[in-house]
Amino acid sequence: MTSKSSLTCGELLDRAVSRIAGDTARLDAELLLAQVTGLSRSGFRAFPEREVSAPLATEFEDLVEKRVQGMPVAYLLGHQEFWSLPFKVSNSTLIPRPDTECLVEQALDLPLPDNARVVDLGTGTGAIALALASERPGWVISACDLMDDAVALAQANASQLELQVDVFQSRWFAGLPAGRFDLIVSNPPYIASGDHHLGEGDVRFEPATALVSGADGLDDIRLIVSEAPDWLNAEGWLLLEHGFDQADAVRGLLTTRGFAMVESRKDYGGNDRMTLGQWPRKGALHAQ
């Protein structure tokens, strides 16, 4: 779809809103037009008669077409806000979700030392690790991801935000430098391989490796729970995000492995979406 002549901001937005499905159609259209023109969303409202050149109108309408096809706005913009921080995003990683901020809140509420050693497994954009670093500059924070593109993206976000987080290429614990942590935090893949949600909405465009984890969605969580005690200090914590219907199973995995203080916590929608446990002092072998 192309523009034959100059159109106004108001005309372009109205045309876009009529094509984009969903409750956020107006917001999506304004964000895309702001990206193309460099104008503010408030400017569109104040001056809807402002003209947009034909080349920019074409660029905007090409983005609108991709949005109509379902491409997430964050991928089209190349950035997404998380924890009030601007993150670069790409289709090599998941888009940071607002509910994952609850995971950050839970981590910040834990009774950890001022110089806590923390690792974020499967970091993606680096959102969790960097949000924690922005709040706890005394913590020594590491992050890892299996995918080279994700590692590079997280490193770029750390540099852009001027926050100190060491990012490694690693499949969970396999490639981490030796050491123990006071907190292991992760938002791992947790969707079952046959889940119908994989064919709906934004997740259609997100990498399956960051979403799918076996027939019941728990393969990666099982591995993390199994190996975490070898990497935790005595009285260290494991904090996991998981699916809305997986809390019972994850609590069972933690309890069976020997974790204490096992609890699930709710996200902004009131769903049990996070589970945590503490590795007890008497059960931690070779604790530092």
pTM for the structure as a whole: 0.85
Pairwise CA distance, residues 113 & 98, whole Å = 27
pLDDT at residue number 235? 96
Give me the average pLDDT of each 10-residue run along the chain (288 residues). Answer: 68 93 89 91 87 92 92 91 94 88 97 97 96 98 95 97 96 93 92 61 61 75 96 97 94 97 94 96 51
pLDDT at residue number 189? 79
- 77-90 residue pLDDT tens: 999 999 999 999 98
Q: How many CB atoms lie within 10 A of CB 164?
A: 12
Full set of structural domains in the chain with CATH = 7-69 (1.10.8.10), 80-283 (3.40.50.150)
3-state secondary structure of 160: helix
Structure tokens at 8: 């106004």
- 35-83 residue pLDDT tens: 999 888 888 888 889 999 999 999 999 999 999 988 889 999 999 999 9
Residue partners of 282: CB distance under 8 A and separation at least 6? none
Helices (H), the chain: 9-19, 25-37, 41-46, 54-68, 73-77, 101-109, 127-135, 148-161, 219-227, 247-257
DSSP string, 76-142: HHTEEEETTEEEE--TTSPPPPGGGHHHHHHHHHS---TT-EEEEES-TTTHHHHHHHHH-TTSEEE
